[in-house]
C-alpha cells in the first residue's frame, strides 16, 4: 500500500487563493462568551471559541475583492456593488439594519470605501438627499427633500448647506439666497406667495437682521384667487431709507468678515477700519442719487479712493457679475465690490 501524500504549504496556499468568482467566503470572529466562561471556569462543551462573522460573495483578484460582490457585515449591514482592492469603489448600494428590517441607505458612487461622487442617501427619519458627495459628506450641488415637507436645492460643503441655495417650505413660500454653516447667512429674499410680498435683506445665522418688504415681481406672483388674506405694505417713514439700509447691510457683512478672520478662516475679503468706511461713504455719496450709484461711475469712485487696479480688473469683475453701465448699486454692494478688487488695506 502506498503512503498517503500530504500537500505542502505552497500547494495548500494555492488552493486557498481567491481568484475570479467564488461562492460565499465566511470570516470568523472570537466568541466573547466562550472566553468569558473560560476565565470563570464555567466552560460549556457546546460552545465554540469562534462564531461566524462577515461574509462575501463575489469576484476576487489576487486574494482581494475586485469586481462585483455582496458583503454582509457583522452588524447586519449589507453592501452590494463594485469593489477595487478590498474597498468599495464604483457603483454600489448600502443597506443598513433598522430594527428587524433592512432598508436601503445609500445608492451611488464610492471611492476608496467612502461615498464620493453622485448618490442618493435616505436618512432614518425619511430625509432624502440627491447630489454630490466627497469623503462621506454632502459636498457640491445637491437637493434635500426633508420629511417635514421642506426642500433645499443648492450648494453644500462638508455636509452642510453652504453657498447659494433655494429653500422651499411646505406651504410653497421660499427663501433664495446665501447659506453658511447650514443656516441662512448673507443676502437673501424670502417670498410670501400667499400675500404676493417678499422680504429682501441680510441674514445672520438664520435670522433676518435688516431689510425691506416689497411686492413680489409680477412675473413671479401666484394667483390670489385662493388667498386667505392680503395686505398693503406701509410707507417707510425713514429719511433716505435706501442709504440707512445699505449702510446697515455693509456693517453686518464687515462684521461677518472680521469674525471669520479672527477664527483664522482663510478669506480674500478685506476688513476695513473706521477711517476706510468713512472715506468710502464720502466717495460713494459724491456720485450717488437717492442712495444709489450707476455702475458706469465705479471706475471714477475707485480712483478717488486711491485704489490702484490691474488693467481691466474692474471690467472683468463687472462682466462676471453681468452688470450693465446703466445698472444701479447701493452702498453695501459698492463695499462688496471694493472688498473684491483690493486685497490690501487702503
Q: Long-range pairs for 59-65 at CB < 8 Å and ≥24 separation?
A: 59/20, 59/21, 59/22, 59/83, 60/18, 60/19, 60/20, 60/21, 60/22, 61/19, 61/20, 62/19, 63/17, 63/18, 63/19, 64/18
Structure confidence at residue 301 (pLDDT): 83
pLDDT of residue 158: 94
Helix (H) or strand (E) holding 104: strand 101-111
Residue 34 domain-assigned (yes or no)? yes
Domain membership flag for residue 131: no
When computed from its CA atoms, the radius of gyration of the chain, rounded to whole angstroms, is 31
Residue 51: CA atoms inside 13 Å, Cβ hemisphere, count? 9
Same domain, 245 and 328: yes
Q: Rounded to an integer, what distance in angstroms lies between the CA atom of residue 334 and that of residue 307?
A: 14
Indicate the pLDDT class of residue 288, thresholds 50, 70 and 90: confident
pLDDT of residue 239: 43
Q: Do residues 78 and 57 both lie within one domain?
A: yes
Sign of the Cα pseudo-torsion (120, 67, 53, 22, in order): positive
Packed helices 274-287 and 331-341: angle between N→C axes, nearest 10 degrees: 120
Q: Locate 96 and state its grid cell.
A: 443598513
Say if residue 229 is in the same domain as residue 249: no
* Boundary of a domain, candidates 213, 234, 255: 234
Could you tell me the end-to-end alpha-carbon distance of the chain, in angstroms, rounded to an integer?
101
CB 30 within 8 A of CB 50: yes
Which pLDDT value is given to residue 317? 73
Q: Is 129 domain-assigned?
A: no
Summarised one tens digit per residue, pLDDT across range 144-188 is 999 999 999 999 999 999 999 999 999 999 999 999 999 998 888
Output the pTM of the full model. 0.62
Last residue of a domain, which of 180, 202, 234? 234
Residue 139 counted as domain residue? no
Written as nine digits, the cell of 259 is 469674525
Mean pLDDT of the chain: 78
Is residue 158, in this structure, part of any structural domain at all? yes
Any domain includes 208: yes
Is 137 inside a domain boundary? no
Helices (H) and strands (E) in the chain, counts: 7, 18
Domain span at residue 163 reads: 146-234
Q: What does the angle CA 267 – CA 273 – CA 274 come to, to the nearest 5 degrees? A: 145
| Residue 35 DSSP SS3 | helix
Number of domains in the chain: 3
Q: Which of 171, 204, 234 is the last residue of a domain?
A: 234
335 alpha carbon, distance to own chain's centre:
27
Q: Residue 166 is part of a domain; what is its CATH number?
A: 2.20.110
Number of residues in the chain: 346
Which helix (H) or strand (E) is 107 found in, with range? Answer: strand 101-111
Q: Is residue 262 part of a domain?
A: yes
**Grid cell at residue 334:** 459698492
| The dihedral sign for the CA sequence 292, 296, 301, 307 | positive
CB atoms within 10 A of CB 173: 15
Chain-centroid distance of CA 114 in Å reads: 17
Question: Could you read off the pLDDT of 119-131 as tens digits, one per residue?
Answer: 999 999 999 999 9
Considering the domain architecture, whether residues 227 and 279 belong to the same structural domain is answered as no
pLDDT over 60 at 113, yes or no: yes
Asked whether residue 230 falls in the same domain as residue 256, the answer is no
Amino acid at each position: 500500500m502506498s503512503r498517503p501524500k500530504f500537500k505542502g504549504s505552497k500547494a495548500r496556499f494555492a488552493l486557498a487563493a481567491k481568484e475570479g468568482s467564488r461562492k460565499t467566503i465566511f470570516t470568523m470572529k472570537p466568541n466573547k462568551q466562550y472566553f468569558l466562561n473560560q476565565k470563570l471556569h464555567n466552560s460549556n462543551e457546546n460552545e465554540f471559541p469562534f462564531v461566524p462573522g462577515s461574509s462575501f460573495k463575489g469576484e476576487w483578484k489576487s486574494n482581494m475583492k475586485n469586481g462585483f460582490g455582496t458583503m454582509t457585515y457583522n452588524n447586519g449591514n449589507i453592501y452590494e456593488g463594485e469593489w477595487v482592492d478590498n474597498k468599495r469603489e464604483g457603483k454600489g448600494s448600502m443597506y443598513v439594519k433598522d430594527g428587524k428590517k433592512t432598508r436601503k441607505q445609500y445608492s451611488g458612487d464610492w471611492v476608496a470605501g467612502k461615498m464620493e461622487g453622485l448618490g442618493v442617501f435616505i436618512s432614518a427619519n425619511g430625509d432624502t438627499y440627491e447630489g454630490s458627495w466627497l469623503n462621506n459628506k454632502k459636498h457640491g450641488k445637491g437637493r434635500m427633500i426633508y420629511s417635514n415637507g421642506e426642500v433645499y436645492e443648492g450648494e453644500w460643503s462638508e455636509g452642510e448647506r453652504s453657498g447659494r441655495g433655494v429653500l422651499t417650505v411646505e406651504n410653497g413660500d421660499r427663501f433664495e439666497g446665501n447659506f453658511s454653516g447650514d443656516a441662512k447667512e448673507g443676502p437673501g429674499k424670502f417670498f410670501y406667495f400667499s400675500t404676493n410680498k417678499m422680504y429682501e435683506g441680510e441674514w445672520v445665522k438664520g435670522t433676518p437682521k435688516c431689510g425691506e418688504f416689497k411686492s413680489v415681481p409680477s412675473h413671479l406672483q401666484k394667483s390670489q384667487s385662493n388667498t386667505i388674506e392680503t395686505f398693503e405694505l406701509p410707507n417707510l417713514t425713514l429719511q433716505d431709507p435706501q442709504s440707512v439700509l445699505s449702510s446697515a447691510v455693509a456693517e453686518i457683512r464687515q462684521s461677518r468678515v472680521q469674525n471669520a478672520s479672527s477664527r483664522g478662516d482663510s478669506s480674500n475679503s478685506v476688513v476695513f477700519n473706521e477711517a476706510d468706511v468713512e472715506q468710502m461713504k464720502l466717495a460713494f455719496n459724491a456720485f450717488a442719487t437717492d442712495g444709489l450709484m450707476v455702475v458706469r461711475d465705479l471706475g471714477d469712485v475707485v480712483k478717488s479712493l486711491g485704489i490702484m487696479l490691474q488693467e481691466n480688473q474692474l471690467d472683468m469683475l463687472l462682466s462676471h457679475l453681468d452688470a450693465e453701465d446703466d445698472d444701479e448699486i447701493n452702498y453695501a454692494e459698492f463695499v462688496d465690490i471694493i472688498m473684491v478688487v483690493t486685497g490690501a488695506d487702503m
